[in-house]
Amino acid sequence: MKGKDICRLLILTAMLISVLSIAHARPLTETFGDGLIKINDFFEQEKYKPYAKAIDFGFFFLLFTSIYLIGVKYAFREVDKPVKAIAVVLGFMSAFLMVANDYSIISLLPYLPLFLYLFLFILLWLLLKGMKSKLWRFIIALLITLLIAAIVEGWLFEVEELALSFFALPKNEKK
């Protein structure tokens, strides 16, 4: 029995050595770099244009299906398979109607800052949950959100100039 095991081990070792001598793998960093270059070229050369409607449909489908799945928890007491199927069908139809009416992800970009400020307000509202008065909690969250929006949008002062003046080193004067 030991002789057969040694024979099998020798055959397996010979097969492994022959496969290793034939196989040649590229380094992972080189493969990763080539993949990033291909992705960059895909966007830089606008090769995504033929797939724009499919990309929009996929985005809207996931967005609306997620919203409907959240909504069915409040509309129905029990969320079982038929209710989930209804949410998926509604998400599919909403995405189809958005794409059929020529809405795109690009058309939503002007509204992106508003969504980000809304999420910032909600985050601040949640952080201030220790306050007893809901009115003051709302007012303070709103004022902080408006202050951050004013700073980011440059309504109060230029952010770049402030950053440069804050991090600027003193200039050497010529004598």
Helix (H, G, I), strand (E, B) or coil at 128: coil
User: Mean pLDDT, the chain, as a whole number?
Assistant: 83
Domain assignment present for 6: no
- Boundary of a domain, candidates 84, 104, 124: 104
**Domain coverage including residue 63:** 31-104
- Helix, strand or coil for residue 133? coil
What predicted TM-score, i.e. pTM, was given to this entire model? 0.55
With residue 121 as reference, give the H or E element that holds it.
Answer: helix 112-127
- Same domain, yes or no: 100 and 111: no
Residue-wise pLDDT tens digits, 128-142: 998 889 999 999 999
Per-residue pLDDT tens over the stretch 45-56? 988 888 889 999
